[in-house]
Structure 1
Amino acid sequence: MTTPSISAFVDQLSAVATRPACNNFFDHTTPANAQRRRNLGLYLQEMLDRSPKVLLVGEAPGFRGMRITGVPFTNRTMFEGPANHFGLFGPGKGYVLPAEAEGVASEPTATVMWQVLAELEFLPVLWSACPWHTHVPGRPLSNRTPTAPEAALGTPFWQALMELFPVETVVAVGNVAHRSLQRSGLDVPKIRHPAHGGRSGFKRGLEELLSAGVRQ
């Protein structure tokens, strides 16, 4: 059972009318989106119980990741496999995959993200500058870098998470997130995105932040 503030957050997210080639996979037009809304509520409630002090803001959901699961930086295998290192997912946690997830390959970026977080024993709350799936027009099973207006549309949501969680540090993961946060007046550290061979740079960036005294 999610708290009213989390429920309101998910409801507001689902109500946004996104632009063409930008899929709001939380809206009420598709029955399977109800499962994604529920999954996101479960994730946010679990994280709220853990009181993370760091918010990592990425770019946008991938079509094999959050677009399927409803949870930032996750993929199908994380829900179906054993509980991960932090005990967030796995059997008995209540997450349900929509039928369309069957046979979808796992998004590698999500796998890398959670491997590195486990290695560092570091559990921030995860989000995206544009929390909806941006794709190439006419190709819904593709990924596209969100435009500045699309990222701006998502700004109120990462701002809401800063209020919902006891966040002391916001970290931009990649250039899109960094530009979005800067446009909102925040001067935040930027680290390498874990996609496209960025694992070592992503890990090194987090290690430097933690060694500099960023509180978990």
Structure 2
Amino acid sequence: MPDTPAATPRARVRVPLHFPDGYRADAELVTFDGLVDGREHIAVVLGEPGPVPLVRLHSECLTGDVFGSARCDCGPQLREAAERISERGGVLLYLRQEGRGIGLYNKLDAYALQDQGLDTYEANAALGLPEDARDYTAAAQMLRALDIGELDLLSNNPDKAGQLRDLGIAVRDRVPTGVFTTDHNVRYLRAKVLQTQHTLPLPELTAG
């Protein structure tokens, strides 16, 4: 197991969640002390987690999660995860890693380049930024602080599962999310499949 310092729960607060489509869920929000990156990540505990809970690592997306941007699938994935985790029991880790870790302003700079024809990864590279700067060490700390050592991961991203396993967390299964395409995000989703092997069955890939 990697020599990662332990984090500890700081506060636990019950919060009723109410999504724009009317879906409601009762959640326990957990904050932490001792996270290696010093960021204010939170765990959203939903349902009754069992020995192998369903877990999602959801990276913050202000444009998608809050404003409902159709340029990504983050908002629909967050909404779906809340319901699926509530039904089975588990945890959603809301990680403050906007724009795959490059920050909000850089993400919007990348959007401007995408409007000129670059895909999401090409735009990051043109700005001198990594394709994906996210590190899940803090996520592993949070899981251990919640006494979760084995889980099923709700994700299309193989890198999340790989990093968690490297950090000593047992990922039993990787459970795919739904596919949420719009006219505005098809190129973005296609790039995720082609560049970082996301498991998204997009008909656009076989349509030319």
TM-score category (smaller protein): 0.3 to 0.5
Q: Whose helix fraction is larger, Structure 1's or Structure 2's?
A: 1
Greater relative CO (CA pairs within 8 A, separation 6+): 1
TM-score normalised by the chain length of structure 2: 0.43
